[in-house]
């Protein structure tokens, strides 16, 4: 087992006084067959109480309702989690023809439509994809996903100066750089264009392993492979998900997994800063 202490801190400053607000933070790791949340604590500078509320996918959000005036919000969340050894290469063999019949079947499309349908931030035409990213008829999903992971890693440059909140996959293909969020959404768009279900994952990455993107909350992808199920891919580092990754939530795109969202009664500009610390224990 790998054990981690995770610290998430955010400071939100507002140009004008906020009269009331409601925040939702998706920063607490889930418990599942691969990892276990051992404990968590949360505090804020306004001394308001938090409460938990599941989102549409059932992942717990840390909720904060503030009914008094403020111009700055500081939040610190500390979690302890353990992750089981993960063998990303364990699978059942499914013949290419059987796999092809399955992913083109109506039942498969109905079962996985949530993660096959494109959104504005995960949309791309199959015809506009580079030739190397169009799945060939004799290629397995696993082989295609391995090639896709390597393509993004080798063709795009990680650049945390990029403001990627409004980037589409087409923008990233043109700019040839971005952050883990952009690379995850290019991966998802390419999968869905080829009929492979894929979902956006948000979480933490072991900072002691030297991986790109570990200084902030990290984004990777889970794609569905017949015979294996959901498999984690990290195109930022050209890796498969293992015990260096701690999952918080998944969704159809970034919008489902944003670490912090708020509804505020105010106007004017605001600034958000945050940092993440991941310590293996």
Q: What is the pLDDT of residues 131-190, one digit of tens each?
A: 999 999 889 999 999 999 999 999 999 987 766 667 899 999 999 999 999 999 999 999
pLDDT classification of 239: cutoffs 50, 70, 90: very high
Kindly provide the residue ranges of all beta strands, DSSP E only, lying in the chain, ordered along the sequence: 2-18, 21-25, 35-44, 50-54, 60-66, 70-83, 157-158, 177-178, 198-205, 218-225, 229-234, 239-240, 245-251, 260-264, 270-280
Residue 88 has pLDDT above 80, yes or no: no
For position 250, what pLDDT does the model report?
A: 98
> What is the rounded average pLDDT of the residues 60-76?
97
């Amino acid at each position: 087992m790998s054990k981690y202490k995770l610290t998430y801190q955010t400071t939100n400053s507002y140009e004008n006084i906020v009269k009331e607000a409601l925040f939702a933070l998706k920063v607490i790791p889930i418990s599942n067959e691969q990892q276990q949340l051992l404990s968590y604590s949360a505090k804020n500078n306004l001394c308001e109480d938090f409460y938990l509320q599941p989102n549409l996918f059932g992942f717990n959000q840390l909720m904060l309702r503030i009914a008094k005036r403020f111009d700055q919000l500081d939040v610190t969340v500390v979690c302890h989690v353990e992750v089981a050894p993960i063998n990303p290469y364990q699978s059942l063999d499914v013949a290419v023809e059987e796999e092809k019949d399955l992913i083109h079947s109506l039942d498969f499309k109905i079962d996985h439509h949530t993660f096959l349908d494109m959104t504005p931030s995960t949309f791309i035409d199959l015809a506009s994809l580079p030739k190397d990213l169009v799945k060939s008829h004799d290629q397995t999903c696993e082989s295609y996903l391995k090639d896709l992971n390597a393509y993004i890693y080798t063709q795009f440059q990680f650049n945390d100066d990029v403001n990627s909140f409004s980037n589409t996959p087409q923008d990233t293909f043109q700019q040839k750089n971005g952050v883990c969020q952009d690379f995850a959404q290019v991966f998802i768009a390419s999968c869905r264009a080829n009929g492979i279900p894929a979902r956006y994952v948000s979480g933490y990455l072991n900072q002691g392993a030297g991986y790109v993107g570990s200084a902030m909350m990290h984004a990777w992808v889970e794609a569905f492979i017949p015979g294996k199920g959901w498999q984690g891919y990290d195109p930022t580092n050209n890796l498969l998900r293992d015990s260096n990754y701690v999952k918080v939530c998944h969704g159809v795109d970034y919008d489902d997994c944003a670490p912090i969202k708020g509804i505020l009664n105010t106007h004017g500009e605001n600034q958000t800063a945050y940092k993440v610390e991941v310590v293996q224990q």
